[in-house]
Amino acid sequence: MTQSTSLPRLTAAALGVSALLWAFFVWRAPIDAMQGPIQKILYIHVPCVVGAYLGFFLTAGASGVYLWRRGERADRFAAAAAEVGVLFCTLVLLTGPIWAKGTWGRWWTWDLRLTLTLLLYLIYVSYLLLRSFTEGSERAARFSAVYAVVGVLLIPLNYWAIDLAGGRTVHPENLGRGSLGAGMGAPFALGMLTAVAAFAHLLVRRLEVGALRAERERLDAEALRREA
Protein backbone atom coordinates (compact mmCIF):
# COMPACT_ATOMS: atom_id res chain seq x y z
CA MET A 1 0.00 0.00 0.00
CA THR A 2 2.99 2.35 0.36
CA GLN A 3 3.10 2.90 -3.38
CA SER A 4 -0.59 3.83 -3.56
CA THR A 5 -0.36 6.38 -0.74
CA SER A 6 2.92 8.03 -1.73
CA LEU A 7 2.05 8.52 -5.40
CA PRO A 8 -0.84 10.96 -4.83
CA ARG A 9 1.36 12.93 -2.40
CA LEU A 10 4.08 13.15 -5.02
CA THR A 11 1.69 14.35 -7.75
CA ALA A 12 0.04 16.81 -5.35
CA ALA A 13 3.43 18.27 -4.41
CA ALA A 14 4.41 18.58 -8.08
CA LEU A 15 1.08 20.25 -8.82
CA GLY A 16 1.41 22.68 -5.90
CA VAL A 17 4.95 23.78 -6.78
CA SER A 18 4.35 24.20 -10.49
CA ALA A 19 1.01 25.98 -9.95
CA LEU A 20 2.62 28.52 -7.61
CA LEU A 21 5.48 29.20 -10.04
CA TRP A 22 3.02 29.40 -12.93
CA ALA A 23 0.78 31.91 -11.12
CA PHE A 24 3.83 34.06 -10.28
CA PHE A 25 5.07 34.13 -13.88
CA VAL A 26 1.59 34.81 -15.26
CA TRP A 27 1.33 37.75 -12.89
CA ARG A 28 4.74 39.05 -13.96
CA ALA A 29 4.19 38.45 -17.69
CA PRO A 30 3.89 41.62 -19.79
CA ILE A 31 0.48 42.80 -20.96
CA ASP A 32 0.09 42.06 -24.68
CA ALA A 33 0.33 45.28 -26.71
CA MET A 34 -2.36 44.24 -29.21
CA GLN A 35 -4.80 42.19 -27.12
CA GLY A 36 -4.47 43.69 -23.67
CA PRO A 37 -4.86 41.77 -20.40
CA ILE A 38 -7.30 39.26 -21.96
CA GLN A 39 -4.35 37.57 -23.65
CA LYS A 40 -3.44 36.10 -20.25
CA ILE A 41 -6.39 33.68 -20.55
CA LEU A 42 -4.21 31.81 -23.05
CA TYR A 43 -1.90 30.83 -20.18
CA ILE A 44 -4.80 28.69 -18.96
CA HIS A 45 -6.40 27.82 -22.29
CA VAL A 46 -3.38 26.35 -24.09
CA PRO A 47 -2.18 24.12 -21.20
CA CYS A 48 -5.74 22.78 -20.81
CA VAL A 49 -5.64 21.68 -24.45
CA VAL A 50 -2.63 19.54 -23.53
CA GLY A 51 -4.61 17.95 -20.69
CA ALA A 52 -7.63 17.32 -22.91
CA TYR A 53 -5.73 15.63 -25.73
CA LEU A 54 -3.57 13.71 -23.24
CA GLY A 55 -6.76 12.31 -21.72
CA PHE A 56 -8.27 11.32 -25.04
CA PHE A 57 -5.16 9.62 -26.42
CA LEU A 58 -4.53 7.78 -23.13
CA THR A 59 -8.15 6.58 -23.18
CA ALA A 60 -7.81 5.30 -26.72
CA GLY A 61 -4.47 3.65 -25.92
CA ALA A 62 -5.78 1.96 -22.77
CA SER A 63 -8.90 0.87 -24.68
CA GLY A 64 -6.70 -0.71 -27.33
CA VAL A 65 -4.77 -2.54 -24.61
CA TYR A 66 -8.07 -3.66 -23.06
CA LEU A 67 -9.33 -5.11 -26.35
CA TRP A 68 -6.05 -6.92 -26.78
CA ARG A 69 -5.45 -8.26 -23.24
CA ARG A 70 -8.89 -7.88 -21.59
CA GLY A 71 -7.30 -6.66 -18.36
CA GLU A 72 -9.59 -4.91 -15.88
CA ARG A 73 -6.89 -2.38 -15.01
CA ALA A 74 -6.61 -1.12 -18.58
CA ASP A 75 -10.35 -0.50 -18.56
CA ARG A 76 -10.22 1.42 -15.28
CA PHE A 77 -7.34 3.48 -16.66
CA ALA A 78 -9.32 4.29 -19.82
CA ALA A 79 -12.34 5.41 -17.81
CA ALA A 80 -10.24 7.59 -15.49
CA ALA A 81 -8.33 9.23 -18.35
CA ALA A 82 -11.57 9.95 -20.21
CA GLU A 83 -13.14 11.66 -17.21
CA VAL A 84 -10.09 13.82 -16.56
CA GLY A 85 -9.78 14.57 -20.28
CA VAL A 86 -13.41 15.72 -20.47
CA LEU A 87 -12.79 18.00 -17.49
CA PHE A 88 -9.82 19.66 -19.22
CA CYS A 89 -11.70 19.89 -22.50
CA THR A 90 -14.58 21.63 -20.70
CA LEU A 91 -12.08 24.22 -19.46
CA VAL A 92 -10.72 24.62 -23.01
CA LEU A 93 -14.21 25.21 -24.39
CA LEU A 94 -15.02 27.68 -21.60
CA THR A 95 -11.81 29.74 -21.67
CA GLY A 96 -11.50 29.83 -25.47
CA PRO A 97 -14.75 31.73 -26.15
CA ILE A 98 -14.01 34.27 -23.39
CA TRP A 99 -10.70 35.08 -25.09
CA ALA A 100 -12.30 34.99 -28.56
CA LYS A 101 -15.04 37.45 -27.58
CA GLY A 102 -12.39 39.92 -26.47
CA THR A 103 -10.07 39.41 -29.45
CA TRP A 104 -12.16 38.28 -32.44
CA GLY A 105 -15.32 40.01 -31.21
CA ARG A 106 -17.39 36.81 -31.23
CA TRP A 107 -17.77 33.86 -28.92
CA TRP A 108 -17.44 31.10 -31.47
CA THR A 109 -16.48 30.53 -35.10
CA TRP A 110 -16.64 27.26 -37.05
CA ASP A 111 -12.89 27.17 -37.37
CA LEU A 112 -11.14 23.87 -38.12
CA ARG A 113 -9.58 23.43 -34.68
CA LEU A 114 -12.59 24.68 -32.75
CA THR A 115 -14.96 22.34 -34.57
CA LEU A 116 -12.60 19.39 -34.24
CA THR A 117 -12.18 19.94 -30.49
CA LEU A 118 -15.93 20.33 -29.99
CA LEU A 119 -16.54 17.07 -31.87
CA LEU A 120 -13.92 15.24 -29.86
CA TYR A 121 -15.51 16.59 -26.68
CA LEU A 122 -18.93 15.30 -27.75
CA ILE A 123 -17.45 11.90 -28.64
CA TYR A 124 -15.92 11.57 -25.17
CA VAL A 125 -19.06 12.78 -23.40
CA SER A 126 -20.93 10.07 -25.35
CA TYR A 127 -18.22 7.64 -24.27
CA LEU A 128 -18.88 8.45 -20.60
CA LEU A 129 -22.65 8.20 -21.13
CA LEU A 130 -22.18 4.80 -22.78
CA ARG A 131 -20.20 3.61 -19.76
CA SER A 132 -22.85 4.73 -17.31
CA PHE A 133 -25.78 3.35 -19.32
CA THR A 134 -24.31 -0.13 -19.81
CA GLU A 135 -24.99 -2.76 -17.18
CA GLY A 136 -22.24 -5.19 -16.24
CA SER A 137 -18.64 -4.06 -15.93
CA GLU A 138 -17.29 -6.46 -18.57
CA ARG A 139 -19.85 -5.39 -21.15
CA ALA A 140 -19.40 -1.68 -20.36
CA ALA A 141 -15.64 -2.11 -20.70
CA ARG A 142 -15.90 -3.89 -24.05
CA PHE A 143 -18.43 -1.50 -25.60
CA SER A 144 -16.68 1.63 -24.45
CA ALA A 145 -13.27 0.32 -25.56
CA VAL A 146 -14.63 -0.24 -29.07
CA TYR A 147 -16.15 3.25 -29.06
CA ALA A 148 -12.96 4.96 -27.86
CA VAL A 149 -10.80 3.20 -30.46
CA VAL A 150 -13.23 4.01 -33.29
CA GLY A 151 -13.49 7.61 -32.05
CA VAL A 152 -9.75 8.20 -32.23
CA LEU A 153 -9.34 6.38 -35.56
CA LEU A 154 -11.84 8.76 -37.12
CA ILE A 155 -10.08 11.98 -36.03
CA PRO A 156 -8.15 12.27 -39.35
CA LEU A 157 -11.40 11.83 -41.29
CA ASN A 158 -13.08 14.55 -39.24
CA TYR A 159 -10.07 16.80 -39.86
CA TRP A 160 -10.28 16.19 -43.59
CA ALA A 161 -14.05 16.73 -43.68
CA ILE A 162 -14.01 20.02 -41.76
CA ASP A 163 -11.08 21.22 -43.85
CA LEU A 164 -13.06 20.42 -47.01
CA ALA A 165 -16.12 22.20 -45.67
CA GLY A 166 -13.97 25.32 -45.66
CA GLY A 167 -13.59 25.99 -41.96
CA ARG A 168 -11.71 29.30 -42.09
CA THR A 169 -8.62 28.94 -39.95
CA VAL A 170 -8.56 31.98 -37.70
CA HIS A 171 -7.21 30.14 -34.69
CA PRO A 172 -3.66 31.26 -33.80
CA GLU A 173 -0.85 28.98 -34.94
CA ASN A 174 0.89 26.63 -32.55
CA LEU A 175 3.43 28.01 -30.13
CA GLY A 176 7.06 28.42 -31.03
CA ARG A 177 8.46 29.88 -34.22
CA GLY A 178 9.24 33.05 -32.29
CA SER A 179 5.60 34.16 -32.00
CA LEU A 180 5.86 34.84 -28.28
CA GLY A 181 6.99 38.16 -26.83
CA ALA A 182 9.69 38.47 -24.17
CA GLY A 183 8.56 37.11 -20.79
CA MET A 184 5.71 35.09 -22.31
CA GLY A 185 7.57 31.81 -22.78
CA ALA A 186 8.02 30.98 -19.09
CA PRO A 187 4.32 31.22 -18.09
CA PHE A 188 3.37 29.05 -21.07
CA ALA A 189 5.99 26.42 -20.25
CA LEU A 190 5.02 26.40 -16.56
CA GLY A 191 1.36 26.27 -17.55
CA MET A 192 2.02 23.10 -19.54
CA LEU A 193 3.90 21.63 -16.61
CA THR A 194 1.04 22.54 -14.25
CA ALA A 195 -1.52 21.02 -16.61
CA VAL A 196 0.44 17.77 -16.83
CA ALA A 197 0.88 17.70 -13.03
CA ALA A 198 -2.83 18.41 -12.48
CA PHE A 199 -3.70 15.73 -15.01
CA ALA A 200 -1.44 13.21 -13.30
CA HIS A 201 -2.81 14.03 -9.86
CA LEU A 202 -6.47 13.79 -10.89
CA LEU A 203 -5.77 10.60 -12.83
CA VAL A 204 -4.08 8.97 -9.84
CA ARG A 205 -6.95 9.93 -7.52
CA ARG A 206 -9.54 8.76 -10.04
CA LEU A 207 -7.70 5.44 -10.41
CA GLU A 208 -7.88 5.00 -6.64
CA VAL A 209 -11.64 5.53 -6.76
CA GLY A 210 -11.88 2.99 -9.59
CA ALA A 211 -9.85 0.44 -7.64
CA LEU A 212 -12.01 0.96 -4.52
CA ARG A 213 -15.20 0.54 -6.54
CA ALA A 214 -13.91 -2.68 -8.08
CA GLU A 215 -12.93 -3.91 -4.61
CA ARG A 216 -16.39 -3.15 -3.25
CA GLU A 217 -18.04 -4.96 -6.15
CA ARG A 218 -15.84 -7.97 -5.48
CA LEU A 219 -16.71 -7.95 -1.74
CA ASP A 220 -20.43 -7.58 -2.53
CA ALA A 221 -20.28 -10.53 -4.89
CA GLU A 222 -18.43 -12.57 -2.27
CA ALA A 223 -21.00 -11.71 0.42
CA LEU A 224 -23.82 -12.72 -1.92
CA ARG A 225 -22.12 -16.03 -2.65
CA ARG A 226 -21.67 -16.73 1.07
CA GLU A 227 -25.36 -16.01 1.72
CA ALA A 228 -26.48 -18.34 -1.05
Partner 1 sequence: MSALLAILWKDLVSEWRSRDRLVAMGVFALLVVIVLYLAAPPGGGPEARAHVPGLLWVAWSFAGVLGLNRAFASELENEALSVLALAPVDRGFVFLGKALASFVLLLLVQAASALAFALAFDLDLRPVAGRLAGVAALGAAGLCTLGTLFSAIAVRTQYREVMLPLLLLPLLVPVLLGAVRATQALLLEGTLPWPALQLLLVTDGVFAIVSFLCFEVVLDE
Residue 135 interacts with partner 1 (CB under 8 A)?
Answer: yes
Selected range binding partner 1 among 2-10, 98-106, 128-136, 217-225, rule: CB under 8 A? 128-136
- 157 is a site residue for partner 1 (CB under 8 A): yes
Q: 199 and 55 in contact (C-beta within 8 Å)?
A: yes
Beta carbon of residue 127, minimum distance to partner 1 (angstroms, whole number): 9
Q: How many residues bind partner 1 (CB under 8 A)?
A: 28
Nearest Cα to Cα of residue 152 among 128, 123, 129, 126 = 123
Residue 136 CB, nearest approach to partner 1 (Å): 9
Report the C-alpha gap between 215 and 11 in whole angstroms.
24
Positive/negative CA dihedral, 29, 31, 33, 36: positive
Segment 107-126, which members bind partner 1 (CB under 8 A)? 119, 122-123, 126
Q: Determine the Cα–Cα distance for residues 59 and 150; give it in Å rounded to an integer.
A: 12
Q: Does 130 bind partner 1 (CB under 8 A)?
A: yes
CB nearer to partner 1: give 35 or 134.
134
Q: Single out the residue of 213, 207, 218, 220 nearest to residue 81, CA to CA.
A: 207
**Touching partner 1, residues 14-33 (CB under 8 A):** none
Subset of residues 173 to 192 that bind partner 1, contact rule: CB under 8 A = none
By CB under 8 A, is residue 141 in contact with partner 1? no
The residues in 39-68 that bind partner 1, with binding defined as CB under 8 A, are: 67
SS3 state at 32: strand
Measured in degrees and rounded to the nearest 5, phi and psi for residue 36 equal 80, -165
Alpha-carbon span 45 to 30, nearest angstrom: 17
Residues of this chain that interact with partner 1 (CB under 8 A) are: 67, 119, 122-123, 126, 129-130, 133-135, 139, 142-143, 145-147, 149-151, 153-154, 157-158, 160-162, 164-165
